[in-house]
Structure 1
Amino acid sequence: MNLSRTTPARDRIIEPIIALAGCSKQHRIVIAGSRAVELMLELQRRGYVRTAATANCGQPAGQYDVALVDWRRRTFKTLETALDWLVGFVSPSGVLVVWVDPQKAAANEILRLSLERRGFVIEAGTVHDCGCAVSARRRETSPFRKAA
């Protein structure tokens, strides 16, 4: 008998999202989205013990090295509101990774512009069978900073 085992969606995005963030097990990580607690528990199971979901992350004080946002099956309008709140948790040298449903090129451009408006520079992106994601850092910490 041949049993087919399906991989839960959270497991399919874990590896690509970690790779995009470039995070190590020593980084402080905050996770946002409807499945934030599930993703937090999975990351902790994998040894990322300094991980929190937005439900238990405290007040925004730039205390996290990495923010992972799983915004699949949610609207872009609610993502805008969440990003306004979430960027306060990201340290000045931190990275923000946003994972969304597969989209048209125009929607991806809107996401990029939204992050740029908040002072982030897109570093990388990926397209996966269960969505697409972009990785961004604050503009001030990009390698092309203006010389004083």
Structure 2
Amino acid sequence: MKIILTILFSIAGLNLTYTQKKSPLDGNWLLVEKNGRKLNFQNHQFKSYHQGYFSVIILKNDGTFNSAYAGPFSINGQVYTETYKYGSKPEWFGWTADQEWTLKGDTLHMIGHTRIVDPEGKEHPKTEWGQFVEKWVRAR
């Protein structure tokens, strides 16, 4: 019986290994700096990455809710791509945005938007959604 349980748990563990999409970004992050300006608790974003999906909560400067989004993300080299599938502004559903990213320890730097594509596949000027340089730290 002990051997059978060991084998079952081993198979289950192997199955989880192959079904999970691991990324160096997996986890929870707090936005601490945007365009060179340090942010405080009342005006930041909280972002999570897990198994190929992201979710983000964006607050207004007074700390109240502004918006939230979620959807699939991918990484290809130093290009991070997210697609808005769910969120508080349905007019963004299906849009895809590229950003450049670097990770050093528990600090993530994002530069965006380097490419923007609408749901029909038409590329838009990268300045349409605004340019930014962000610094995120892993939430603990």
**Larger relative contact order (Cα-Cα within 8 Å, sequence gap ≥ 6):** 1
Q: TM-score, normalised by structure 2?
A: 0.29
Q: TM-score, normalised by structure 1?
A: 0.28
Structure with larger Rg:
2
Select the structure that is richer in strand. Answer: 2
